């Protein structure tokens, strides 16, 4: 009798331990495979208490996202004046733009892992301080070295405004909701190229070129002040990664091995390549090929940006009515349909300005259907602990492919519209191919996805 009782007790303990281990295993799968509901429930109280707080947070995230585009476009009208004032050799000012983009790429690669290891708030505030200090350095520069150093540091600091807002959104919202917010952030980036050169030109004519960068200093100070009060910490300590060289390398390697993420990131980068191809070739299309004046060219460029904003608003509405996948399928259909008709028109010899500009307007505007969804699809297929690193790698891929497409267009020795439109079609078709391939994979990984979580000793050694 006693033996039977002991056997029953052992059997009960065995099944209890199996049940407990099963719960632990499921919890680990949910955490390590990108399952985000637990994260959302933990952090939802941060901003969902009041609608005004959520709106304020989104406006601030939009301001941080605009740092890079404002810093690129606001000083463009002052190129010649700066060259003359600092006695720079001819052609050196465009190099300052390239230096800024290099800093932007480096900053994104650095700020992502830091945001995963130290949380979102502190790296974001530190990046704003660096951006403001670098703008101050440019404003007081007296030679090319100071100018280039300031622009490099501006790019590194401004990169946090690209990477960390995406990670904050992924901490707080589910995929459909996040897609709407990513679309909103991209609209902010679309508005900046319209307003920034105008503001820069006014400041240049009234005060001088140095005042342009003092305005950036003031913008950084205002953003930093509001962020101190209204940007919450959205990543719990227990979900932070190990901030060591080995931990950072491991996180990047695990993300790169995620084939679904890689496909989504490449698709997003190729869509960015489509946009950069259009931007690089816009002066040729409107001014060289169709003979428009610089004023008309500026109006056309602004009109295309307004088109992207309007389509972005429509996309935000659609995101609340359909899934991200259906939304992207619709966006690719519209975008590639317009490009296909445009390519067919050129093959048939139809190069009327109204036809070409109209179809190109529809194709470029429809990119707003794709940016938010592809960003959401990429970031949400990795674990929540690596959202910052995933956001950083996504940004680097976008700028590398986008910049490469622009360079490739410049190497094509042809004075017609056909190579440009063909490159647009190639980038978009490849983006569709990578998206469809990645969509066919599982939405999260279960095997070999352990995240390196920092211990208290690691955190003390870093600090």
Q: Where are the domains of the chain?
A: 47-233, 241-441
Instruction: Tell me the pLDDT tens digit for each residue of 107-142.
Output: 998 988 898 888 888 999 999 999 999 999 999 998
- Residue 266 tokens read as 């490449």
CB 223 within 8 A of CB 66: no
- What's the confidence (pLDDT) of residue 118? 87
Could you give the C-alpha distances from 192 to 63, 76, 155, 462, in angstroms and in order? 10, 13, 16, 37
The domains spanning 47-233 and 241-441 adopt the same CATH topology: yes
Q: How confident is the model at residue 337 (pLDDT cuts 50, 70, 90)?
A: very high
Residues 235, 420: Cα–Cα separation, whole Å: 43
For domain 241-441, give the fold: Growth Hormone; Chain: A; (1.20.1250)
- Residue 144 tokens read as 């090319």
Buried b (16+ CB within 10 A) or exposed e, 77-88: bbbebbbeebeb
The region of weakest confidence among 47-51, 167-171, 359-363 is 47-51
pLDDT of residue 253 exceeding 70, the answer is: yes
- What's the confidence (pLDDT) of residue 185? 85
The long-range contacts involving 279-282, CB below 8 angstroms and separated by at least 24 positions, are 279/406, 280/405, 280/406, 280/409, 280/410, 281/409, 281/420
Answer with the residue of higher pLDDT: 383 or 426.
Answer: 426
How would CATH label the architecture of 47-233?
A: Up-down Bundle (1.20)
Residues 269, 402: Cα–Cα separation, whole Å: 6
Q: How confident is the model at residue 89 (pLDDT cuts 50, 70, 90)?
A: confident
- What's the confidence (pLDDT) of residue 78? 83
């Amino acid at each position: 009798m006693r033996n039977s009782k002991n056997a029953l007790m052992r059997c009960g303990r065995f099944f209890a331990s199996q049940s407990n281990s099963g719960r632990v295993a499921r919890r680990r799968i949910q955490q390590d495979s990108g399952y985000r509901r637990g994260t959302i429930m933990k952090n939802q109280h941060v901003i969902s208490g009041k609608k005004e707080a959520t709106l304020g947070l989104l406006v601030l995230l939009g301001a941080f996202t605009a740092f890079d585009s404002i810093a690129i476009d606001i000083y463009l009208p002052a190129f010649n004046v700066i060259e003359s004032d600092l006695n720079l050799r001819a052609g050196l000012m465009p190099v300052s733009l390239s230096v800024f983009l290099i800093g932007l790429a480096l900053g994104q690669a650095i700020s992502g892992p830091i945001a995963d290891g130290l949380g979102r708030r502190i790296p974001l505030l530190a990046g704003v301080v660096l951006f403001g200090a670098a703008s101050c350095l440019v404003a007081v520069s007296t030679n090319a070295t100071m100018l280039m150093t300031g622009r490099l540091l501006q790019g590194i600091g401004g990169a946090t405004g690209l990477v960390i807002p995406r990670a904050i959104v992924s901490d707080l919202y589910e995929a459909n909701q996040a897609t709407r917010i990513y679309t909103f952030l991209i609209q902010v980036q679309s508005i900046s190229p319209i307003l920034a050169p105008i503001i820069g030109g006014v400041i240049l004519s009234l005060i001088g070129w140095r005042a342009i960068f003092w305005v950036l200093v003031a913008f950084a100070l205002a953003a930093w002040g509001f962020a101190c009060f209204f940007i919450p910490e959205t990543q719990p300590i227990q979900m932070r990664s190990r901030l060591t060289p080995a931990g950072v390398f491991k996180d990047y390697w695990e993300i790169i091995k995620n084939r679904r993420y890689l496909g989504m990131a490449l698709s997003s980068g190729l869509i960015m390549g489509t946009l950069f191809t259009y931007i690089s070739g816009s002066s040729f299309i409107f001014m060289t090929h169709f003979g428009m004046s610089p004023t008309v060219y500026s109006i056309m460029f602004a009109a295309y940006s307004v088109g992207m904003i309007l389509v972005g608003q429509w996309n935000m509405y659609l995101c609340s009515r359909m899934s991200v996948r259906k939304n992207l399928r619709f966006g690719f259909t519209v975008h590639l349909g317009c490009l296909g008709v445009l390519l067919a028109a050129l093959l048939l010899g139809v190069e009327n300005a109204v036809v070409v500009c109209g179809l190109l307007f529809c194709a470029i505007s429809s990119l707003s259907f794709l940016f938010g969804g592809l960003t959401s699809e990429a970031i949400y297929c990795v674990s929540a602990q690596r959202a910052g690193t995933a956001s950083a790698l996504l940004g680097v891929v976008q700028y590398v492919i986008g910049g490469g497409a622009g360079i490739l267009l410049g190497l094509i020795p042809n004075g017609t519209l056909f190579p440009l439109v063909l490159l647009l079609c190639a980038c978009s078709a490849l983006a569709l191919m990578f998206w469809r391939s990645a969509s066919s994979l599982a939405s999260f990984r279960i095997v070999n996805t352990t995240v390196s979580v920092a211990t208290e000793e690691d955190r003390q050694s870093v600090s």
